[in-house]
Amino acid sequence: MRFQDLHEAFRQQQLTQRLAHSIRHLLNGQTVRFMEVCGGHTAAVLRFGIQALLPDSIQLLSGPGCPVCVTPQVVVRQSLEVADRDDSLLATFGDMMRVPSTDGSLEDARARGASIRVIYSPLDVLDLARENPLKKVVLLAIGFETTAPATAKLLLEAERANVKNLFVLCAHKTMPEAMSWLLEQGQTALDGFICPGHVSTIIGAKPYDLLPREHGVGCAIAGFEPLDILLAIHRLLEQKMSQTPRVDICYSRSVTLKGNVKAQAILNTVLEPCSSIWRGLGLIPNSGLRLRERFSHFDAVRMLHLQTEGYRISDGFEADCRCSEILRGLVRPTECPLFGTRCTPESPVGTCMVSPEGTCQNYYVLGSVSAD
Could you tell me what percent of the chain has a pLDDT over 70?
95
The 10s digit of each residue's pLDDT in 87-125 is 999 999 999 999 988 888 999 999 999 999 999 999 999
Across all residues in the chain, what is the average pLDDT? 93
- CA 29 to chain centroid: 33
pTM over 0.85: yes
C-beta neighbour count of 82 within 10 angstroms: 29
**Angle between helices 261-270 and 148-160 in degrees, nearest 10:** 60
Q: What is the pLDDT of residues 283-296, one digit of tens each?
A: 999 999 999 999 99
Which pLDDT band, with edges at 50, 70 and 90, does 371 fall under?
A: very low
Query: Is pLDDT at 372 greater than 50 in this prediction?
Result: no
Among 198, 244, 241, which Cα is nearest to 218's? 244
Of the candidate ranges 19-28, 186-195, 260-269, the one whose mean pLDDT is the lowest: 19-28
Q: What is the pLDDT of residues 293-325, one digit of tens each?
A: 999 999 999 999 998 765 565 556 788 999 999
DSSP annotation string for 200-237: HHHH-SGGGGHHHHHH--EEEE--SSHHHHHHHHHHHH
The helix (run of H) or strand (run of E) holding residue 160 is helix 148-160
Q: Which residues of 173-183 are buried (b: 16+ CB within 10 A; e: fewer)?
A: bbbbbbbbbbb
- Of all residues in the chain, the percent with pLDDT exceeding 90 is 88
pLDDT at residue 10 in the model: 82
The pLDDT value recorded for residue 307 is 86
SS3 state of residue 359: helix
Report the alpha-carbon distance of residue 293 to residue 270 in Å, rounded.
9
Tell me the average pLDDT across 239-255: 96
Biggest CA-to-CA distance, the chain: 67
The gap between the terminal CA atoms of the chain, to the nearest Å, is 32
| Adjacent-strand bridge partners of 36 | 62, 194
pLDDT above 90: residue 270? yes
Q: Which domains does the chain have, with CATH numbers?
A: 64-311 (3.40.50.11740)
Statement: residue 178 has pLDDT above 50: yes
pLDDT over 60 at 3, yes or no: no
